[in-house]
Amino acid sequence: MKNKKNLIYALILPLVVVSGLVFANREIKKEPKPLSIAERKAILDERKKWETSPDGIKYKEWAISPEGKKVYASHDKIRKYITDFSNMEAVVTSVTFKRANAKSSGPKWLIVRINGEDYMMQYTHKDFERLNGLKVNDKIILRSHSAGYSPNHPYLIVSGDYIEQNGKVLFKRDFSKNNGC
């Protein structure tokens, strides 16, 4: 009987030690610190100040215009894919798009159609080089973490974080740079 007790203690003791080490070494997740009332008020004041600025007024007018409503509706159509970072089937409609009055050294744009809606994706010249082989009507798989609105652009701006064609990855954004942005 005494040998069985010793055996049980011998088995339990390493379990307790290992459990203690696991709990001691685990990383404690820090909850984001809630904003104070003063911080919230400052943010709200900044927003109100921007909304009354010429840019803010222009944005509000655009948001309620037919063009703005169309862009917001196109975002609603792909919101779940963006939230889930899941595959969207897209067809390339332009690889040479340039905004009116844009600098030639400015960003490169890829225009794609997803479920009947057009979307824009912006890239630096260096990143766009990896997409050089794309042509109009090429089918691609696209994943995105985010999208943005601008009254200066005719379509929703989708961050093309991952692009694949025929099972080959053409572009994958490196989130380890820029703090994951």
pLDDT tier for residue 33 given thresholds of 50, 70 and 90: confident
Mean pLDDT of the chain, nearest integer: 84
| For residues 169-175, average pLDDT | 86
CATH topology of domain 47-180: OB fold (Dihydrolipoamide Acetyltransferase, E2P) (2.40.50)
C-alpha–C-alpha distance, residues 88 and 78, integer Å: 8
Which region among 29-33, 134-138, 149-153 has the lowest average model confidence (pLDDT)?
A: 29-33
Torsional class of 137: left (φ above 0), alpha (ψ -120 to 50), beta (otherwise): left
Whether the per-residue pLDDT at 179 is higher than 60: the answer is no
Per-residue model confidence (pLDDT) at position 25: 62
List Cβ neighbours of 108 (8 Å cut-off, separation of 6 or more).
Answer: 122, 123, 124, 125, 127, 128
pLDDT of 35 = 84
The whole-number pLDDT of residue 173 equals: 85
Identify the burial level of 140 via C-beta atoms within 10 angstroms of its C-beta, where 0-12 means exposed, 13-18 middle and 19 or more buried: buried
What's the order of all strands across the beta sheet hosting 147-148?
147-148, 156-158, 117-123, 108-114, 88-94, 139-143, 162-165, 168-172
pLDDT of 3 over the 80 cut: no
159 and 170 Cβ atoms separated by less than 8 Å? no
Separation of CA 181 from chain center: 8
Alpha-carbon Rg for the chain in angstroms? 26
Please, which residues have CB within 8 angstroms of residue 133's CB and are 6 or more apart in sequence?
Answer: 170
Q: pLDDT by residue (tens digit) across 81-138?
A: 999 999 999 999 998 887 666 666 678 889 999 999 999 998 888 888 888 889 999 9
Q: Is the pLDDT confidence value at 21 over 90?
A: no
